[in-house]
Amino acid sequence: MTDPIGATKTIMEEKSVQTLCRVGDVPADEPLRVVLPDDHAVSVYLWEGSYFCTDDLCTHGEASLAEGYVEDGQIFCPFHMGSFCISTGEPRAAPCSEPIRAYEVIERDGMLLIER
């Protein structure tokens, strides 16, 4: 069977919900590093009463962002003090220029989850 002229195909990327940790595991204003079952590491943050999650690896210096600190909604890399917005992953301070991936955190039954 052939596609009609002008038809478009959409490739859907399958995502799965993955458990990060218990709500009480995340300290206030301090990142928590979580390694997912596929060995992908993320950092989880509790800032001003809300949970956030980003990839753990800095795009500039390949440092673990969980070893940095959170201030004003930003995670500061421990290597060169560049920073990223914890809600969007966008770089906020040099030398960081490439964004990190940010994930929406789902709170369910006392657990924190992300879709990826």
If one compares 8 and 37, the residue with the highest pLDDT of the two is: 37
65-91: average pLDDT: 97
Residue 61: pLDDT band with limits 50, 70, 90: confident
Domain 17-115, CATH number (from 3.40.50.300, 2.102.10.10, 3.30.360.10, 3.40.50.2300): 2.102.10.10
Residue-level pLDDT at 9: 47
Written as one string, the DSSP assignment of 59-112 is TTT--BGGGSEEETTEEEPTTT--EEETTT--EEETT--S---EE-EEEETTEE
Of 40, 47, 41, residue with least CA distance to 65: 41
62-71: average pLDDT: 96
Return the number of other C-beta atoms located less than 10 Å from residue 88's C-beta.
15
Give domain limits for the chain.
17-115
In the predicted structure, residue 83 carries a pLDDT above the cut 60:
yes
- For 88, residues 6+ apart whose C-beta sits below 8 A from its C-beta are 99, 102
- For 94, residues 6+ apart whose C-beta sits below 8 A from its C-beta are 82
In the predicted structure, residue 14 carries a pLDDT above the cut 90:
no
In the predicted structure, residue 8 carries a pLDDT above the cut 90:
no
What is the average pLDDT score of the chain? 91
Residue-level pLDDT at 27: 95
Residue-level pLDDT at 50: 96
In the predicted structure, residue 67 carries a pLDDT above the cut 60:
yes
Residue-level pLDDT at 87: 98
